[in-house]
Amino acid sequence: MEASGAAEAPAAAGVGRISLLGLIPIGLVAIAAALFALAGAPGLGERRGPPAEDLLVERTVLRPGEIELTVRNDGPDAVQIAQVAVNDAFVDLEVAPPEIGRLASNKLTIPYPWLEGEAYEIFLLTSTGGTVDHAIDVAVETPSTGVGFYGLMALLGTYVGIIPVIIGMVWLPFVRRISRGFLRGLMALTIGLLVFLALDATLEGVEIAGAGSQAFGGAALVFLGAIASYLALATVDAKMRAREQRAQAAGATGGYLALLVAIGIGLHNLGEGLAIGAAYAGGALALGALLVVGFAIHNTTEGLAIVAPIARARPSLLRLAALGLIAGAPAILGAWIGAAAFNASITAFLLGVGVGAIVQVVQLLVPFVRDSTGRFLHGAAVAGLVAGVAIMYVTGLFVSA
């Protein structure tokens, strides 16, 4: 025992010395930066030329006789807005504080008697003479965010999220009665559905990020969200794999896959809800009956993707309902967030999170598509993949109608 303790002491001391050596470069960098700042950045002098101004209008709120703009400074220098013109006519401006620091945001209140349905061009003039243009294509009063409004958002999320997914899960009795070869094709169809969702979310996230602040990462936020989500789910999967293997005889593997599919679809529907809530709050989306029906048809196929992995199991109605809520309910949460405080950077990141989750689920589904020889791209698989992508594409046309 004494020999063992004596051996552990030098080992601990060695680890301590290694840690100290690793901290030395960090300490030197901190000391050098502090000395550089205290000396007043010698050699650089004062910067010449006009300041770099980059303003971004993140949100527009229209109230009777008033236009409110949420403006973010996306550039390196502070910006002060001096005047505002609406359709080439200068108007009064209410802004506090007058100067917007780097990455900070501010609300500009513009008293203006706008008319519903008209188009307006707003010009922000900075103190240095720079201008920022912002267009309102169709002026519509922004809905007030009260209890009734959030109730409406919950209803819309239920229409486009929960109900379609649960209706799609009614395919379970049919899925139970198909042959094993047909089931492999159905699993491939599930992969096709998910691949289309991932591609659609990626493109939408990149587009939204392009319209938002670039200083926070822009389109890179989509891919950062996807990487973070994929790694997180892969870590959870690695920890649960041993437990699921022990319970494989009871059909737990299929239930586990169905849960992961529901989570991936739920994260996708979260991003979908964000877009719906933000567009509705800004008056940019007329959610009529046709569009709601289009979302319902499009999302019904997601229910099929959830029940495919549990075709040979006998899940209870309570478990099926839970899976449907996991996949559909995030649309309600997304609609609330999007309507209350839409932010392009956050939305892009969350869409990326959905993409990463879907990619991880697809990776887990691939072994279930392989045939007896180990091939993935056999006839049934190819047909299922093409059918899955085609179904999502065609039903997506209803959403854009």
Phi first, then psi, for residue 356 (nearest 5°) are: -60, -40
Q: What is the spatial distance between Cα 297 and Cα 277, in angstroms, rounded to a whole number?
A: 19
Nearest in space to 68 (alpha carbons), one of 82, 86, 88: 86
Nearest in space to 132 (alpha carbons), one of 93, 82, 94: 82
pLDDT of residue 223: 93
Candidate ranges 50-64, 100-114, 270-284, 385-399; pick with highest mean pLDDT: 100-114
* Per-residue pLDDT tens digits for 303-341: 888 888 887 777 788 888 999 999 899 989 888 887 776
State the pLDDT confidence band at 252, using cuts at 50, 70 and 90.
very low
pLDDT of residue 121: 92
pLDDT of residue 325: 92
More confident residue, 368 or 109: 109
Does 250 score more than 70 pLDDT? Answer: no
pTM beyond 0.75: the answer is no
pLDDT of residue 151: 87
> What's the mean pLDDT when you consider all of the chain?
78
pLDDT of residue 373: 79
Does 247 score more than 60 pLDDT? Answer: no
The average pLDDT across 129-149 equals 80
* Per-residue pLDDT tens digits for 59-101: 888 889 888 888 888 888 888 888 888 888 888 776 656 678 8
Helix 379-399 and helix 289-307: axis angle, to 10°? 160
Does 17 score more than 80 pLDDT? Answer: no
Does 51 score more than 60 pLDDT? Answer: yes
Percent of the chain with pLDDT over 70: 80
HEC string for 280-315: HHCCCCCCCHHHHHHHHHHHHHHHHHHHHHHCCCCC
Percent of the chain with pLDDT over 90: 2
State the pLDDT confidence band at 16, using cuts at 50, 70 and 90.
low
pLDDT of residue 380: 83
More confident residue, 58 or 296: 58
Paired tokens of 231: 């790694």
Q: What is the spatial distance between Cα 12 and Cα 95, in angstroms, rounded to a whole number?
A: 60
Does 246 score more than 60 pLDDT? Answer: no
Does 136 score more than 50 pLDDT? Answer: yes
The average pLDDT across 199-227 equals 86
Does 34 score more than 60 pLDDT? Answer: yes
State the pLDDT confidence band at 41, using cuts at 50, 70 and 90.
low
Lowest mean pLDDT segment, chosen from 142-151, 168-177, 288-297, 320-329: 288-297
Name the CATH topology of 55-136. Answer: Immunoglobulin-like (2.60.40)
State the pLDDT confidence band at 400, using cuts at 50, 70 and 90.
low
